Amino acid sequence: MDIGTTTDNYCTEEFYYRRGKELLPSILPLAYILTFIVPLFFVLYMWITGRVDYNFIKFTFLFIVVGSALERWCFFMEGNHVQNLFYGLYPEEGYTLRKGYMERKKTRISYR
């Protein structure tokens, strides 16, 4: 074992967050709603009524930016980063919010 895998280092401190994970079940759906659903309604409203208003376009862009920022925050809070896989920082319960969540797996070596 080398020092990088047996002690805390930059990767284990800066890319793994212990606090904030309890907010993920409420923030992630909100992020998807703000990024996709709300702008879709704004665009459909402008298309159906034929009234293209600059304020609707501004709010559509604003919701997309805010929702995308929340989604990126959720990504970093989940801690599904490659360096966390390398250092073995798996979440204890696994995250089922997205497909392909991480889970602690036992490695078995067989000769077959």
Residue 21 sits in which domain range? 10-87
Answer yes or no: is 28 within a domain. yes
Q: How far apart are the first and last CA of the chain?
A: 28
Report whether 73 contacts 28 (CB < 8 A).
no
Mean of the per-residue pLDDT values of the chain:
76
**Per-residue pLDDT tens for 83-112?**
666 666 655 544 444 444 444 455 566 666
pTM greater than the 0.75 cutoff: no
Answer yes or no: is 46 within a domain. yes
**Per-residue pLDDT tens for 49-72?**
999 989 999 999 999 999 999 999
Answer yes or no: is 105 within a domain. no
Distance CA 57, CA 65 (A): 12
Residue 5 region by backbone torsions, left for phi larger than 0, else alpha for psi between -120 and 50, else beta: alpha
Answer yes or no: is 3 within a domain. no
Answer yes or no: is 33 within a domain. yes
**Per-residue pLDDT tens for 74-86?**
887 776 666 666 6
Distance CA 104, CA 1 (A): 20
Q: Residue 71 half-sphere exposure, CB side, CA atoms within 13 Å?
A: 14
Looking at the 3D structure of the chain, how many domains does it have? 1
Answer yes or no: is 56 within a domain. yes
Compute the Cα dihedral for 82, 83, 84, 86 and give only its sign. positive
Answer yes or no: is 60 within a domain. yes
